[in-house]
Structure 1
Amino acid sequence: MGFKLITATLNILVLDKVEQRLAEIAVPGLSVSETKGYGAYKNFFQRDMMSTHARI
């Protein structure tokens, strides 16, 4: 069986739920890193206009 690389960027608030679900379906490994940026839904009232997300 070969490996597949899947990259997802998601809100920090849902990271725990995603990690738990991936453990339930027996995903063998996971890397998590912090990423900052903005797109179509950036918050103009935030001081640096960047939002923090997790990349898994």
Structure 2
Amino acid sequence: MSFAKITAIVRPAAVSAIEDLLHKQGIPGMSIGHVKGYGDYADFYRNDWMVSHVRIEIFIAETMAEQVAEKIMDVAHTGLEGDGLVAILPVSAVYHIRTKKRCEENAC
């Protein structure tokens, strides 16, 4: 089975709705962390331009990645600068540390 990693960097206000969506979609797991940075959107009122966002990371079957990314964008979209971004990256392998087994189709 081919895997993909979805990384979404979104406004903190969108996180609860995204979590609810992912749970309802049956996504088996995610990691969430607070991040600071700037890109297209920067806080020019701060000396370092940094903006607080939340990063969500999901390892998922490659065939589902586009669909999940689109759903995240639907929930996080406000149409304003600073909405964030979603990236999909290929993953060559996923392992469970506890069992030291490679995730395969229907066994991850």
Consecutive unaligned residues of structure 1, counting only runs of 5 or more, are none
Who is 1:16 aligned against?
A: 16
Who is 2:51 aligned against?
A: 51
C-alpha separation between the residues in 2 aligned to 1:28 and 1:53?
A: 23
C-alpha separation between the residues in 1 aligned to 2:41 and 2:12?
A: 16
Who is 1:31 aligned against?
A: 31
How many residues of Structure 1 are paired with residues of Structure 2 in the alignment? 56
C-alpha separation between the residues in 2 aligned to 1:38 and 1:5?
A: 22
SS in 2 for 1:41: coil
Per the alignment, do residues 44 and 27 of structure 1 end up closer, same or farther by CA in structure 2, a change over 3 Å counting? same
When normalised by structure 1's length, the TM-score is 0.82
SS in 2 for 1:7: strand
Q: Percent identity?
A: 38
Consecutive unaligned residues of structure 2, counting only runs of 5 or more, are 57-108
Give the root-mean-square deviation of aligned CA atoms: 1.6
Structure with the higher strand share, 1 or 2 = 2
Name which one, 1 or 2, has greater alpha-carbon Rg: 2
**Aligned AA (1:49):** W
Moved over 6 A (4+): none
Moved more, 41-50 or 6-15: 41-50
C-alpha separation between the residues in 2 aligned to 1:40 and 1:2?
A: 32
